Each structure stands twice: as structure tokens, then as C-alpha cells.
Structure 1
Amino acid sequence: MLGLVLVIAIRTMGSKFVGKIILFDIFMLDFLLVPLLIITTTKIIKGNFLEWTFFKLGKHSTNIWLMHSYFTLSYFQDLVFYPRYSILILIFTFILTTSISKIIFLGKDKISIIKSQELKLEKQGG
């Protein structure tokens, strides 16, 4: 937990102190801060309810990432931006894309079951 607080403190307050040095930018410390952030976050999540949640969401993450732009930028803008408040829009988009991802996985499982049954029939008949 201390590492997470340290990373946040360095990133937010570091620019005030570093801004006086012309040749140095606070972003130059990211190569040190990112590993610290990853290790700290992993230790916080490990063995917690969050671990199970992130594990379950992990298999949907690519679908969520690929679909969110279609919902927010192209086809369903009116639906996504209906809540009007940014946090509600974020939550609604997340729920929407996760639900669609689950439907895609169900369809994918159905198709694989049908294909495996067809292969069994071909082997028996052929």
C-alpha cells in the first residue's frame, strides 16, 4: 500500500519540485515508477475478491476494448451517453460491452459444440 501512495505522491507532487530543473521532466521517472506500481497493485489484489473479478474480466478484456469504440463513437452514441454523467457513462459502457462479450462467448461455445457434433457424425459416417 505504501508503494501505491509513493507512486501517486511522486507523480502528483513531483512536478512542483522538478519543474525548477529545466533539463528534467517528471515523466523521466516513469521507468522506475511503473514497476513499483505493478508490484504494489499485484500485492493488493492477490488473494482478494478483486483477484477473482479481474480473472473473470480478463477473458473479456479484448472484446471490451474492441467494442467500446463502436458503442461510444459510432453506432450507439445516444444510448451510451444517455446517463449524461461521465462516471455513469463509464459504468454503463462497461456493463454494455461486458454483456455483449458474454453473448459472443456463448455464441462461440455454441458454434464449437455444433462443429464437434458435425465432426463426430462425419467420422461415424465416413
Structure 2
Amino acid sequence: MGADGQLFSQLIQPVGEGPEHQGLGGGGAIALPVQHDDMPTELIDELAQRLAKDPLATLDVTLLMPTLGKVQVRASPRQGHWGIELGFTRRDVLRRLRPRQRNCEAALAAALGQPVTLSMLDEAER
């Protein structure tokens, strides 16, 4: 797992769980159907595991990730699909990832087993 995935895992890991546990979702890693050098696969994998663990919960966290910078994650279940917003404070990261938005959306949908509406936002403007 890369540095971003490890940091993300540490930030959302429930109290009382440690490295001896298998992961946030209680199992192994989720296989993503789309792999690309510019896709934040560790972020997508960890996010998918967290959302799959509690499919009725709303997630609103701010992450400080080594290669992505500050990322605001907002995810909520909607009727038959997930609405997920990823807000990036580093515009260079947003410019690099925005062309991969559909691939990220498809990877999350495959991992969660239901449609996903993904938005990538410029948090520097907020």
C-alpha cells in the first residue's frame, strides 16, 4: 500500500483496531478494474472499503495526504447510488486527476457494487 493509502487508513481506522486487523472492510483489498498511474488507487480502495463497511453512513473527513495534499471527502448514500465529492486544495492535483474522473467513478462503483456519482472540486476556491 502506498503512503496515501496508509495515511488514509490511519485517519479513518476506528479506535481499537490496529495493524493486526485485516483492514477497514474486514477483508482483503478490493480489486479495482481500472489501474492508471495518475489514478489515486490507494485513496479509492480505502474509501471503497470504508463506505462498504457502513453503507448507510455519511462520511465527511479532511485528509492530509503526502502526494495529494489536503483532500476533503464527502460521501453519502442516496437512492440506489452513492454521491461522493473529493475536494482538492492543490490545483495541480485536481488538474491531473480531473481527466481520470470517470475512471475513478467506475472503480468506486465496481468496488461498492452500486452506481456512484463522483465530483472533483477545487477546495481552494471555497
TM, length-normalised to structure 2? 0.22
Greater relative contact order: 1 or 2 (C-alpha under 8 angstroms, separation 6 or more)?
2
TM, length-normalised to structure 1? 0.22
Give the strand-richer structure, 1 or 2. 2
Determine which structure has more spread, i.e. the larger CA radius of gyration: 1
